[in-house]
Amino acid sequence: MNSQSNGSQDLFAGNDMTDYLAELNDRQSQAVLHSDGPLLIIAGAGSGKTRVLTYRIAQLLAAKKSWASEILALTFTNKAAREMRERIEHIIGPEANKLWMGTFHSIFTRILRMEAEHVGYKQDFSIYDSDDSDRVVKGVLQELRIDPREIKPKQIRFRISGAKNQMISAEEYAAKFVQSSLDDIAAQVFKIYNNRLKQSNAMDFDDLLIKPIELFETHPEILEKYQDRFKYIMIDEYQDTNRAQYIVTKMLASKRENICVVGDDAQSIYSFRGADISNILNFKEDYSNATQISLEQNYRSTQAILKCADAIIKQNKQQLEKTLWTENPKGNPITLLDNFNEREEAQRVAQHIRNVRMKEGYRFNEIAILYRTNYQSRVFEEALRRKDVPYQLVGGISFYQRKEVKDVIAYLRLLVNPTDEEAILRVINEPARGVGQKSLQTLVSLARQNDTTLWEVLQNPVMLTDVYKPAQARVREFISILDECRQELGGKSLVDTTRDILDKTGYVKQFIEENSQESLGRRENVMELLNAISYFERSRENASLSAFLQEVSLVSDVDNMEKDTPAVTLMTVHASKGLEFPVVFVVGMEEELFPMGGRNGEEADI
DNA sequence: ATGCACGCCCTTTTT
DNA sequence: GGGCGTGCAT
């Protein structure tokens, strides 16, 4: 691996700024030394982008341009944020913890928590992931008497999310964007969906980006507070910002224009979730005095690989011109493996892995298998198992998306935010306590009729009179368990409180009684969640339940990837972005699958 | 009315 | 390898 790679060697032995400037090439140090005014860094793949960003922050601090607490650095993944923070900590020490560095979602959640009341929320609002959103949509569809099997909740959610990303309100959507009956349904659902989230004191992922804009638009004095606080703003992966992210950062930067964006139009991979490549293409028009610096030297790949990538990217119609080059060796040619089907492919990849290990001495953790979609992993897992090759899966159904984990999390969410309707619906009959569909339906419609929260209905004995008698008692039991555990929050530890919930509800007991392979696994996952909570509690100063919940709702699986375990890594191409492996298999390179095409496969997407 | 077992469905990429 | 809906038993 090259010395400029993401490798683990300590690059920051010296504390003297000049020391590490010496490690940079001309363009890199130019970018690091630029301090005031808008700066656009076009950073090709493997061109040392992270190192430039970290050094730039260190440089701003060293030159006393600002305090750490006045720098805002936004990334897309927790991993990128953590990596940068660690590197900066090496240079400047614990002061690094004062940086406002994190994903868009986590930073703006932080701001929203502080300003919640100004956007009509309570501080401990819940965060709904896409699964929660789908379930809300589904509920709304049912209330509208639309069969969720004919109209898929996901389709509706995509439309709502797409609209939100582009800052189109439910009202505007209904007025302007209805072109099909599906749009029409989406428009109806959109409004109700928003109300329901609001009433549940919950935000979805998109809200975390939109609500700050609302906040700043309606409260100029609050906007100004943050404009003054953030003297320097840095945005990583700018090519992947969507409209909301573009607007909110522009608002924050407009006073000082000390905004530095780093990106590469050729590496835009998130258009499917609203990323708008024109944000980076138009940066120079947004800020007429912007400086542009292109990082074109690649430190990661061989010439052979670079040449191949370049030949493909050159065909993009819209792009910022640049040519990647490298001083690295020519390297092995790329090997093409023709296969009859996926089973043969997997089998031969597994064999190749054994070969490169035996003949060329690579270790398992230096090898990666990349595919387009998670479900492709299965056949490779099988093949690797058969050949006794250890592997680790990154992504797919992540730990925090498992049903049993989500259930326990839902219980915890209810301690913090009892009005979280999605959480109630999730666990009110989990484990089965005799509150079935029929009773639930009654309860929900009571809430709607009285324009109140489900929680309110559950608590109100008068309202419950219409509900099936046996269910009433069970509802009361459910409520009192939650109330009891909520009392504990201040006193007991989080793990103990969680254990109490599990005990009182019999959640784990059901798994023990079932005693099947499956329930055993589920039980283990719940135990692992307890471990995670306990670890969180031990490693944090102010380890509140709501802080834990926030963290788990904003982590992804790549964040937990183990770099040193002796295992081949399996993941999607998306998840691999920014990582390095000496040996890489890109599998399933089939028409329509890679790149993904099909009916709506537009040329721009390809 | 609820609970359970079964068969059906689907699987882009992520915060 | 999931969830989810259906249909049957309790």
Cα-based torsion angle of the residue sequence A456, A459, A460, A464 in order, rounded to the nearest 10 degrees:
100
Which pLDDT does position A2 carry in this prediction? 36
Q: What is the DSSP string of A307-337?
A: HHHHHHHTT-SS------B--S---PPPPP-
pLDDT of residue A7: 35
Percentage of chain A modeled with pLDDT above 90? 40
pLDDT band at A69 (very low <50, low <70, confident <90, very high): very high
Dihedral angle of Cα A146, A152, A153, A157, to the nearest 10 degrees = -120
CA distance A411 to A428: 9
Task: Tell me: pLDDT of A5 over 70.
Answer: no
> What distance in Å separates the CA atoms of residue A492 and residue A510, rounded to the nearest whole number?
25
pLDDT, mean of residues A42-68: 90
User: Nearest 5°: phi and psi at A82?
Assistant: -65, -45
How far, in Å, is the CA of A239 from the C1' of nucleotide B3? 51
Q: Which nucleotide is nearest to A396 (CA to C1')?
A: B11
Residue nearest to nucleotide B13 (CA to C1'): A574
Condensed to tens digits (0 to 9), the pLDDT of residues A337-365 reads: 888 888 889 999 999 999 989 899 999 99
Is the per-residue pLDDT at A6 higher than 50? Answer: no
A395 vs A144, higher pLDDT: A144
State the DSSP code for A566: S
pLDDT band at A42 (very low <50, low <70, confident <90, very high): very high
Q: How far apart are CA A124 and CA A108, in angstroms?
A: 14
Helices (H) and strands (E) counted in chain A, each on its own, are 26, 12
| Cα-to-chain-centroid distance, residue A586 | 23
The beta strand positions in A161-228, using DSSP E, are 202-204
Could you read off the pLDDT of A234-272 as tens digits, one per residue? 999 999 999 999 999 999 999 999 999 999 888 888 877
The CA-atom distances, in angstroms, between A151 and each of A104, A255, A422, A426, A601 are 31, 46, 20, 22, 21
Q: What is the residue-averaged pLDDT of chain A?
A: 86
**Which band of pLDDT confidence, cut at 50, 70 and 90, is reported for residue A12?**
very low
Strand partners, A40: A261, A292
Residue that wins the pLDDT comparison between A399 and A12: A399
User: Which pLDDT score is estimated for A560?
Assistant: 65
Nearest residue to B4 via alpha carbon and C1': A432
pLDDT band at A598 (very low <50, low <70, confident <90, very high): low
How far does the CA of A204 sit from the C1' of C7, in Å? 36
Lowest mean pLDDT among A71-75, A89-93, A121-125: A89-93
Tell me, what's the pLDDT at A566?
Answer: 86
Strand partners, A391: A568
What is the rounded distance in angstroms from the CA atom of residue A163 to the CA atom of residue A167?
6
Residue A571: helix, strand or coil by DSSP?
Answer: strand
Pairing of strands A259-263, A100-103: unpaired
Radius of gyration of chain A (CA): 26
Highest mean pLDDT among A103-112, A569-578, A589-598: A103-112
> Over the stretch A78-102, which tens digit does the pLDDT of each residue have?
888 888 888 899 888 888 889 999 9
Q: Please compute the mean of the pLDDT values over residues A114-133 and round it to a whole number.
A: 93
Mean pLDDT of A492-520: 85
Average pLDDT rounded to a whole number, residues A319-328? 82
Pick A311 or A150 by higher pLDDT: A311
In the complex, which nucleotide's C1' lies nearest to the CA atom of residue A375? B11
Q: Which residues pair with A204 in a beta bridge?
A: A128
Alpha-carbon span A157 to A193, nearest angstrom: 10
Spatial separation of the C-alpha atoms in residues A426 and A423, rounded to whole Å: 5
Q: Which residue has the tokens 């943050």?
A: A226
Nucleotides of B under 7 A from a protein CB: 1-4, 11-15
Task: Report pLDDT for A216.
Answer: 96
More confident residue, A241 or A322: A241
**CA nearest A419: which of A200, A122, A192?**
A200
Residue A147 Cβ under 7 A from any strand C atom: no
Q: Give ∠ CA A72-A76-A81 in degrees, rounded to 5.
A: 55
State residue A1's pLDDT score. Answer: 32
Quick one: tokens of A365?
Answer: 């953790």
Bases along strand C below 7 A from a protein CB: 1-5
Query: Token match 């404009």: residue?
Result: A227
> Does the CB of A429 sit below 7 A from strand B?
yes
Contact A575, A558 (CB under 8 A): yes
Q: What is the mean pLDDT of residues A511-532?
A: 82
pLDDT in tens, A368-401: 999 988 888 888 988 888 888 998 888 766 778 8
> Measured in angstroms, what separates residue A135's CA from nucleotide B9's C1'?
17
Q: Which nucleotide is nearest to A441 (CA to C1')?
A: B1
Q: What is the pLDDT of residue A153?
A: 85
Q: Is the CB of A569 under 7 A from strand B?
A: no
Single-letter amino acid, residue A89: E
- pLDDT-based confidence at residue A226 (cuts at 50, 70, 90): very high
Residue A83's closest CA among A518, A578, A432, A459?
Answer: A578
How deeply is A490 buried, as exposed, middle or buried, from its count of CB atoms within 10 A (0-12, 13-18, 19+)?
A: exposed
For A457-502, what is each residue's pLDDT tens digit? 888 888 877 777 777 888 888 898 999 999 988 889 999 999 999 9
**In chain A, % of residues over pLDDT 70:** 94
The confidence band for A604, taking pLDDT boundaries of 50, 70 and 90, is: low
The Å distance, CA of A178 to C1' of C7, is 39
CA closest to C1' of C5 belongs to A149
Q: Round and report the angstrom distance from CA (A438) to C1' (C7).
A: 17
Tell me the whole-structure pTM to 2 decimals: 0.88
User: Is A352 within 7 A of strand C by CB distance?
Assistant: no
Protein CA A436 to sugar C1' B3 (Å): 9
- Angstrom distance, A139 CA to C6 C1': 19
Interacting residues of A311 by C-beta distance below 8 A, sequence separation 6+? none
